[in-house]
């Protein structure tokens, strides 16, 4: 599989976009489980048809050729085709409403056809399909999104970026004060931007940071629990399993080359 990645380095486009990625080739696996990773993405598919399911109880559903993959707090299972080509754009959650006219929280745990949101994405898919290598797709998308830019409130961007910051011990009232909101106002913003309450967002951020440490280091579970502000190792294991269906040890034994991905 050929994997490409780039941070958004355009000074204007970076107000909306965090990064770009592309995966292309013939997978040597049949299923890919994607754990919650704290990201929202626009994804364009140029390969064979792809199907996904949210649990072993649900029937696989076809993935649209361009879609928004909302913030997830449950795993998604992809049934991989013989040939896949995905071009992805990771957005700042607070910017989703400005771009799609729908709050990011509305896309929680959903894969939504972008052509149903705005028919303009049909034309953008065609342009990206006809573009050359990854770098040209990145440039094309950056030029396209510049025409869509409008201001994002600084407080909303601060909340949006919160999930990627190093976790510190914090409660709802302290976090609200940090963002100059009342607890009730912050809860409304958290629901709009992430689709979850402030309290749930704090738990989710803690889990996302722990997932990254687990993938990229050999830290013990005890030290990860300490770094991510869990009460103890048992608390960490229990909360990790709530989001993934796996214990941290099971994830480490099965993890793939991409953080939060398991290939089978």
- Tens digit of each residue's pLDDT (9 = 90 or more) over 184-243: 999 999 999 999 999 999 999 999 999 999 999 999 999 999 999 999 999 999 999 999
* Dist. CA 198–CA 237, nearest whole Å: 21
Interhelix angle 183-194/154-162, rounded to 10 degrees, is: 70
Which residues is 172 bridged to in the sheet?
A: none
More confident residue, 58 or 246: 246
pLDDT given at position 81? 84
Query: Picking from 121-130, 145-154, 199-208, which range would have the lowest pLDDT averaged per residue?
Result: 145-154
Report the run of H or E that residue 186 belongs to, with start and end. Answer: helix 183-194
Mean pLDDT, range 86-94, rounded to an integer: 96
Confidence of residue 55 (pLDDT cuts 50, 70, 90): low
pLDDT of residue 170: 86
The domain segmentation of the chain, as residue ranges, is 2-146, 154-263
Over range 72-91, report the average pLDDT: 93
| The pLDDT value given to residue 199 | 95
What 3-state DSSP class applies to 87?
strand
Spatial separation of the C-alpha atoms in residues 124 and 55, rounded to whole Å: 31
Give the three-class secondary structure for 69: strand
Quote the CA–CA distance of 239 and 218 in Å, as a whole number: 20
* 27 pLDDT more than 90: no
Architecture of domain 2-146: Sandwich (2.60)
**What kind of fold does domain 154-263 have according to CATH?**
Arc Repressor Mutant, subunit A (1.10.10)
Domains 2-146 and 154-263 share a fold: no
Predicted local distance difference test score (pLDDT) of residue 60:
82
Q: What is the pLDDT of residue 53?
A: 84
> 35, 260 in Cβ contact below 8 A?
yes
CA 184/CA 188 separation, integer angstroms? 6
Q: Using CA atoms, how far apart are residues 162 and 158, in angstroms rounded to an integer? A: 6
Is residue 73 pLDDT above 90, yes or no? yes
CB–CB of 17/142 below 8 Å? yes
Contact status, residue 128 vs residue 53, Cβ threshold 8 Å: no
Is the pLDDT confidence value at 57 over 60? no
Q: What is the pTM of this model?
A: 0.94
Answer whether 156's CB lies under 8 Å from 181's CB.
no
Task: Tell me what percent of the residues of the chain surpass a pLDDT of 70.
Answer: 98
- The answer, yes or no, to whether residue 54 has pLDDT greater than 90, is no
Q: What is the pLDDT of residue 80?
A: 85
Tokens of 16: 């909306």
pLDDT over 90 (residue 130):
yes
Average pLDDT, the chain: 92
Lowest mean pLDDT, pick from 39-43, 52-56, 146-150, 256-260? 52-56
């Amino acid at each position: 599989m050929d994997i490409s990645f780039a941070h958004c380095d355009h000074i204007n486009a970076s107000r909306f976009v965090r990064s770009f990625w592309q995966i292309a080739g013939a997978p040597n696996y049949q299923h890919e489980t994607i754990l919650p990773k704290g990201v929202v993405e626009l994804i364009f598919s140029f390969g064979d048809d792809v199907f996904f399911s949210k649990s072993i109880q649900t029937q696989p559903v076809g993935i649209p050729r361009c879609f928004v993959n909302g913030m997830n707090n449950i795993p998604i299972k992809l049934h991989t085709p013989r040939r896949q080509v995905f071009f992805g754009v990771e957005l700042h959650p607070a910017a989703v409403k400005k771009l799609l006219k729908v709050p990011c929280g509305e896309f929680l745990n959903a894969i939504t056809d972008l052509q149903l949101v705005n028919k303009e994405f049909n034309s953008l898919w065609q342009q990206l399909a006809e573009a050359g290598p990854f770098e040209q797709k990145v440039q094309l998308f950056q030029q396209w999104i510049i025409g869509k830019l409008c201001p994002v409130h600084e407080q909303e961007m601060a909340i949006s970026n919160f999930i990627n910051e190093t976790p510190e011990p914090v409660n709802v009232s302290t976090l609200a004060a940090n963002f100059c909101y009342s607890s009730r106002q912050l809860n409304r913003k958290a629901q709009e931007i992430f689709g979850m309450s402030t309290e749930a967002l704090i738990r989710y951020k803690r889990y996302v940071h722990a997932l990254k440490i687990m993938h990229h280091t050999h830290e013990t579970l005890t030290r990860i629990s300490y770094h991510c502000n869990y009460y103890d190792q048992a608390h960490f294991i229990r909360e990790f399993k709530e989001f993934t269906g796996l214990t941290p040890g099971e994830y480490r034994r099965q993890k793939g080359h991409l953080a939060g991905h398991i290939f089978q």
